[in-house]
A and B are shown apart, each in its own frame.
Chain A
Amino acid sequence: MSEAHLDTLADAVLDAWESGAQVDFATAGGDPAICAELAGLERAAAMYAAIGAMRSTQVAPMRPAFFEQLVAAGNEIAKAPALPPRNAPLLGNPVSRQPRWLPFLVGAAAGFLGAYVALSPADGEPPSRMREEFLVRGNYAKIDWKPGTSHSYGSVHGDVVWCTQRQQGFLRIDGLQPLPQGLQYQLWIVDADRTGAPVDGGLFDLASGNEQVVPIHAKLPVREAKAFVVTVEKKGGVVVSEQKDVVAIAGI
């Protein structure tokens, strides 16, 4: 690898804030040499950050109540059936010289390029099956949809299932129509433990008016979900909805 190319990788790892610091992670996914270089630089950066974080005297320790909250959340995940290691890397690199967790790392790195790779435990699995597995684990809330204030896109049926401890859930939606080009459905989660706008629960498209299952991708931890709301927004979504087209509401 050329020194210039190595410098580009180092810049991407070091200065991820800057939009100019970019590297072609799609290429990295297909080239084991670049993957190995990138993994080495990421490892070095992580070790530096780890030592810095551990020696810091500026930061107050985490609250005991928060520690207990994390233990409860972790135990809820740990007691679920173990998810097997993935056989194939996320980016499809057939070469096995790279660390087995490199695809995870490359996926994480791709995030700052706007090409976020969802790292749910069952990537590639149909959402309907993921929902079934979710239901088997128990400890969730289930709420039926009610129609929203807008009826321009059909009349919703179905439900929402959500587990606060696992921070995971699914929408089962029937009766809403595919949207015209340039529009997308966006989920919002009203968290009673937060002030301000609802938490963005992710964007989705519907291919037909028939029943479909959509995984929830909450952009922030949800501590106390009180309601789930689906709106119609411009493609790519919005940070705060004006709620002009509310098509579904599920309140606890």
Chain B
Amino acid sequence: MDTPLLTQIAAGRPGAVEDFLRGYGNAVWGLARRFCRSAEDAEDATQEILVEIWRNAARYDQNAGSELTFVMTIARRRLIDRARRLGRRPQIELLQEASELPGEPAKFDAAEFDDEVRRAQAAMLQLRPEQRQVLELALNEGRTHHEISVAIGIPLGTVKSHARRGLIRLRNLLGVAQPEQEGDLE
């Protein structure tokens, strides 16, 4: 197994930061841009997230999950914390209308990433279309359950149900949870 870039950063290897940015920078930037109102805000958020990750690089354990998962978990949570702190919500104008959402997740070349990412992409394809639609709006666009309910015209309780079941199923498909919970609970 290759030495993780975060481990290399913690060890001070020259060039590791640039390699890290080329590997994960656009993923963080892409999410930040969706969650922030302006490019300047997104740059602030991206720098805030990456500085924190780099400062804590030695705490990454590759046995616990991929670097990408580690980075994006922190990025997503920090973006939510930041928006709550600043009293700002994601820029809805930037986002697609719900009716334009693709029926199937778009494919991308994941060859440069690890197995965990490829498994996640395959797992997403196993979710129900309505679960994917709700998760897309909740996780990638930062919309509240209430906003999703209004956007796609289904009751709030159904939105919550699709979101919960979809996320729990995705987690189970990724092999994190107990086998007996692997089925769809609906």
Which residues in A have some Cβ–Cβ distance to B below 8 Å? Answer: 3, 6-7, 10-11, 13-18, 36-37, 39-56, 58-63, 66-67, 69-71, 73-75, 77-80, 82-86, 99-102, 104-105, 108-109, 111-112, 116, 119-121, 166-167, 219-221
What does DSSP make chain A's interface, helix, strand, loop or mixed?
Answer: helix
Q: Is the CB of A44 within 8 A of B170?
A: yes
Q: Is the CB of A83 within 8 A of B27?
A: no
- Which residues in A have their C-beta under 8 angstroms from that of B170? 44, 47-48
8 A Cβ contacts from B63-84 to A: 63-65, 68-78, 80-81, 83-84
B33-55: CB near A (< 8 Å → 1, else 0) gives 11000010001101110111011
Q: Are B84 and A112 in contact (CB under 8 A)?
A: yes
Q: Are A3 and B185 touching (Cβ within 8 A)?
A: yes
State whether B168 touches A48 (Cβ < 8 A): no
CB within 8 Å: A-B pair count: 258
Report Cα–Cα, A15/B27, bound state, in Å.
21
Residue in A44, A58, A109 whose CB lies within 8 Å of B77: A109
State the CA gap A203–B36 with chains docked (Å).
Answer: 25
For the complex of A and B, 6 pairs with smallest distance between CB atoms: A99-B64, A74-B17, A40-B176, A53-B30, A52-B140, A47-B120
A17 touches B142 (CB 8 A): yes
In the complex, per-residue mask of B1-36: 1 if CB is within 8 Å of any chain A CB, else 0? 000000001111110111011000111111101100
CA distance A41 to B135 in the complex (A): 12
Query: What residues of chain B lie closer than 8 Å to A55, measured between beta carbons?
Result: 105-108
Contact B80 A101 (CB under 8 A): no
Q: Is the CB of A78 within 8 A of B21?
A: no
Closest to B85 in A: A219
Are B81 and A111 neighbours in the complex by a CB distance under 8 Å? yes
Chain B residues with Cβ under 8 A from A101's Cβ? Answer: 59-61, 64-65, 70
CA A80 to CA B46, docked complex, whole Å: 21
